[in-house]
Chain A
Amino acid sequence: MSDLSLTIGGLVFKNPVITASGTFGYGTEYAPYLDVSRLGGIVTKTITLLPREGNPVPRVAETPAGMLNSIGLANVGVDEFLKRKLPALADLDTRVIVNIAGNTAEEYAAVAAKAGAFGRVDAIEINVSCPNVKQGGLAFGTDPEATYQVVRAVRNETGKVLITKLTPNVTDITEAARAAVEAGSDALSLINTVLGMGIDITTRKPLLARGTGGLSGPAVKPIAIAKVYQAARCVDVPIIGLGGIRQWEDVVEFMLAGASAVQVGTWNFVEPGGAARIVAGLEQYCASRSLARLADLVGTVDIDET
């Protein structure tokens, strides 16, 4: 058996396939379709201090090989999550990562402190990259100084492994990447959705009620690969790559670009259980190539430096 494992901030993941925030609910919804314990980890929907109902509909729309969403971080709030959703994950043999957001750095810290008090929470992913809320979210992620402040505030509250989730909606992703690492982030995940918009030419209405939203799915994969490649070359912490992954070949591609692990997002909607099939595909890939350690692939893209 080949070794698919990897380590982030001292935390061992048995394989690199994690499900992405907002596309896997609170961890149990897809249980009828796949053995969640097959996965390296799961990331919860973004959790905020207070419950949120989200934006008006339509808040999802299809685009070529992708989709737009403007859900607006609809979630049950941290107290309800910890009381009613987290206990259901107790017996899963997979890493549980809680994704958090807030309107201020203090709010991020408050959510992290609450979630960090639970043993079942293995790591915290800091969402500074949601394009669908007025305050917080993207406003933090596009400003390296604000990114630093948020990560720092969370770092001061919890000893849990911290992953900072970055936005692709910047000119130079390495600035935010460095800021997050300097503030104490153990790893980076990228990309969150790409700012996008579509318009119905008959009704002249935008496809999403809110106008703009976040693009995801296979359409964004080349953007994500480039950002991972850029970020991996400038920081020393592990990178979790995501954006458009739907098959094991995509995982290998992200690893070559510099990702140590990956997340599967939109594809869960298309193929419930697809994330587990990707794990099986990676196992077969390693076996057929007699690859002892999948992690040996990380960052080995063969590119001529000029």
Chain B
Amino acid sequence: MGCSICTVISNKPVAEGLYLMSVEAPGICSTALPGQFVHVRTGDVIDPLLRRPLCINRIDSGNGTLDLLYRVVGRGTAALAGKKPRDPLDVLGPLGNGFTVRGNFRNALVIAGGMGIAPMFFLIDELIRTEKYVTLLWGARTAAELFVSSADFAPGGLTLHTATEDGKAGHAGYVTDLLASILEQLSDAGSARAYTCGPVPMLKTVQKIMSGRGIPVEASLEERMACGIGVCAGCSVNTVQGKKLVCKDGPVMNLMEIVYDE
């Protein structure tokens, strides 16, 4: 955990409005866990004022670089999109907790919708490294946003199912449409864990479909943040154990314990 001025290595669009930035940050890379996030200052300015939380998308520990995958949705992310190689980047992190990767299970089911894919590449790398069978259900708006394939991961480790809202690749519709049938096919549900990240309606659907199956489901959550380290109490989320803070007690939490109001 620290705050440091890192260096942008590359920063390129991978699809319309979707950027992949590589940042040299050996200190962060040496301790980061999949699921953790960083809190980034988008410039040495007072407007926009606050840092922007972004998941650690992937890590290259050999080179000490981390990737950020982000969609340009406002002023902060637009400023990030303007960064060039060798630009400095003020990065606070790694922050929050991570996904459970270790443990006595064989099957890992990863359900990602939209920007929910952001924390999953790092997670999948680690799951494959620890010899889990990984199934990724990836939903995106367009085919162009499905910019990596199973070939981009260690051989044999990943089975990929896709869905697009425009119907140009994979299943036409939502990724959660695929979930029930994938669960039926799971050979050994007793030895499975699930991981998910995406918009709230998707998380609610996943919560419904997964309920009563006895498969632990970890979700990476989002909430408006100021400090990112558990100080301002801004990022609160309702759970069965009362209010918790996404930045400190999460961003990864037990999806089954999240209380969504109707």
Contacts and interface: CB of A to CB of B under 8 A. Distances in A.
Interface of A: 22-25, 29-30, 32-33, 45, 53-54, 57-62, 64-67, 69, 71, 74, 217-218, 246, 266, 268-273
A269 B232 contact: yes
B109 interface: no
A146 to B, nearest CB: 26
Contacts of B235: 57, 60
15 contacts: A23-B231, A29-B231, A30-B229, A33-B2, A53-B243, A54-B236, A58-B224, A59-B233, A65-B49, A71-B232, A217-B46, A266-B226, A270-B41, A272-B3, A272-B227
B229 A272 contact: yes
Pairs of residues from A and B, 4 with the lowest C-beta to C-beta distance, nearest first: A60-B234, A25-B231, A65-B47, A269-B227
Interface residues of B, number: 28
Contacts of B226: 60, 67, 69, 266, 269
A3 B41 CA distance: 34
Contacts of A217: 46, 49
**SS class of chain B's interface: helix, strand, loop or mixed?**
loop
Given A269-B227, A272-B92, 10 more contacts: A32-B1, A45-B233, A54-B236, A58-B224, A60-B226, A67-B50, A71-B234, A266-B226, A269-B50, A272-B227
Given A71-B232, A74-B236, A272-B229, A57 B49 contact: no
Interface in B193-231: 223-231
A30 B48 contact: no
Given A74-B236, A269-B50, A270-B41, A60 B230 contact: no
B51 interface: yes
B2 A64 contact: no
Interface of B: 1-3, 41, 46-51, 92, 223-237, 242-243
Contacts, number: 90
A30 B49 CA distance: 19
Contacts of B229: 29-30, 272
Q: In this complex, which of B2, B230, B234, B235 has the most chain A Cβ atoms within 10 angstroms of its Cβ? A: B234
B243 A54 contact: yes
A62 B224 CA distance: 9
A113 to B, nearest CB: 25
A32 B47 CA distance: 26
B243 to A, nearest CB: 5
Given A33-B3, A53-B243, A60-B226, A67 B49 contact: yes
A67 B227 CA distance: 12
Contacts of B49: 62, 65-67, 217-218, 266, 270
Q: In this complex, which of B224, B230, B242 has the most chain A Cβ atoms within 10 angstroms of its Cβ? A: B224
